[in-house]
Amino acid sequence: MTAPPLNPALFHLDKEHLWVMHCSEGPVPRATLRVVRSFMLKELRPWEVCWEEDFQGIPAALRAEAAALLGGRAEDISLSPSTSTGLVTVAQGFSWVPGDEVLAPLGEFPSNAWPWLALKARGVTFREVPLWTGHRAGAEAWSSLPPTAEADPEARLIAALGPRTRVLAVSWVRFQDGLKLDLQRLGKACRERGVHLVVDGIQAAGTVPVELTDLSAFATGGHKGLLAPQGMGFLWTEAGFRQSLSPSGTWLSVEQATDFSRPSTDFARAWLPDGRVLEPGGPNLLQASALLESLRLLNGAGVAAIATHAAGLQARLLDALEGTTWAAEGRRLRRLLMAGRLGSFLAFHHGGAGADHLQTLLQTGYQRGIFTSVREGYLRVAFHGFHTEADVDRIATWLHGSAS
């Protein structure tokens, strides 16, 4: 057995809780709890909370760690409470003209739909593009066919870019079917057409290495693959694109904001050129210290190693399903995996069995201490850097005993 890149002992998980659902909520490492606890202890004695080390130091360290995770620059990171707030910042700050259009794949997680739909009163339309034949969403989501390796979702999106399209907004890995889009291919096509590629990255951040070339923005919350509690994430923006957005307009979005030798009421100040210009104001130090610790752990292990490990576990599970009622679904996913089309979770399609069937299956998993999740017709099994081959074999045994 190969050692997982993240030692399972770093987490508070036990035999009763095989947590394969970081696609919903990631487990927080024990070290993150320790850091948060010690910061709260400092807050009991406010004279111990230091301006440079804490108020400025924690957010700065978090921006640097987030940049390291993305392979980008710290000055392009804005701390942001969630994926939604990152996308809302872009949507609200963009210089729209009535008639502009935002294009998105059909069936995005709502955090990548409502920020754009909210622009209707400003004359901006939101258009969804089906990604494969038989792809359905909304009220028809359960009747959708699942994606296959033969589909070419990027080609459909690129063909749909129109003269009024200003933004292509996509999830890197989709929340229900787990399909991973080729951001490089989309980014290149967008750049050639003067369109901005804006990415909801939460379903792959921390478990898949990213390449930021040709992206305009990348938003993620910290509570899934990034292994932090809900409430702190980050937004990466390309420098030129960031300058085209309206600033958030907080007291910390301007130059020398914390230089109290200069009167704070002197408003003849320039907006900051870096990512702080888009931050929501005074930093949430508790949440920032939590995400910082979790990112240190992830960067220490290496996202590439985590991705390879998770893919190995996925292959093992899919192979183990040969000869069972899940075999055909296992082969569909195996082909997607081989084609580099999956993030860190396997989404098993209900195959016509319906919602109740998956809910029942989910419950039988809970009874065995196996925690998976169901979304829009798919049972999601998410592997991370701390899962083991023994975990996979336990899941395979559970699925063997169930009908697909």
Would you tell me which residues interact with ligand PLP (CB under 6 A)? 82-84, 109, 111, 171, 175, 200, 202-203, 221, 233
DSSP state of 293: H
318's enclosing H/E stretch is: helix 303-320
Q: What angle do CA 117, 118, 119 make, to 5 degrees?
A: 90
Closer CB to ligand PLP, 173 or 336, in the complex: 173
DSSP state of 139: G
Distance in Å, CB of 375 to ligand PLP, minimum: 8
Which position's Cβ is nearest ligand PLP? 221
Closer CB to ligand PLP, 62 or 396, in the complex: 62
DSSP state of 3: P
Spatial separation of the C-alpha atoms in residues 80 and 133, rounded to whole Å: 36
Spatial separation of the C-alpha atoms in residues 55 and 2, rounded to whole Å: 41
Distance in Å, CB of 222 to ligand PLP, minimum: 8
Distance in Å, CB of 200 to ligand PLP, minimum: 5
Distance in Å, CB of 229 to ligand PLP, minimum: 12
Question: In 4-56, which ranges are continuous DSSP H helix?
Answer: 30-44
Closer CB to ligand PLP, 203 or 253, in the complex: 203
Distance in Å, CB of 267 to ligand PLP, minimum: 32
Spatial separation of the C-alpha atoms in residues 345 and 204, rounded to whole Å: 9
DSSP state of 137: -
Q: Residues 169, 86: contact at Cβ < 8 Å?
A: no
Closer CB to ligand PLP, 176 or 314, in the complex: 176
Give the CA distances from residue 258 to residues 252, 263, 279, in Å, rounded to whole numbers and listed in that order. Answer: 8, 10, 15
Spatial separation of the C-alpha atoms in residues 37 and 150, rounded to whole Å: 49
Distance in Å, CB of 220 to ligand PLP, minimum: 7
Closer CB to ligand PLP, 4 or 201, in the complex: 201
Distance in Å, CB of 215 to ligand PLP, minimum: 16
Closer CB to ligand PLP, 84 or 165, in the complex: 84
Closer CB to ligand PLP, 32 or 80, in the complex: 80
Structure tokens at 114: 């409502």
Q: Which of 212, 149, 219 is nearest to 183 (CA)?
A: 212
Structure tokens at 165: 């399209």
Q: What angle do CA 117, 354, 141 make, to 5 degrees?
A: 15
Query: Could you identify the residue written with the tokens 């899940």?
Result: 326
Residue type, 165: T
Distance in Å, CB of 260 to ligand PLP, minimum: 34
Distance in Å, CB of 5 to ligand PLP, minimum: 23
Closer CB to ligand PLP, 83 or 289, in the complex: 83
Q: Which of 295, 259, 232 is nearest to 79 (CA)?
A: 232
Distance in Å, CB of 146 to ligand PLP, minimum: 17
Spatial separation of the C-alpha atoms in residues 50 and 270, rounded to whole Å: 26
Number of helices (H) and strands (E) in the chain: give both, helices first: 12, 12
Closer CB to ligand PLP, 175 or 383, in the complex: 175
Closer CB to ligand PLP, 345 or 386, in the complex: 345
Spatial separation of the C-alpha atoms in residues 322 and 318, rounded to whole Å: 7
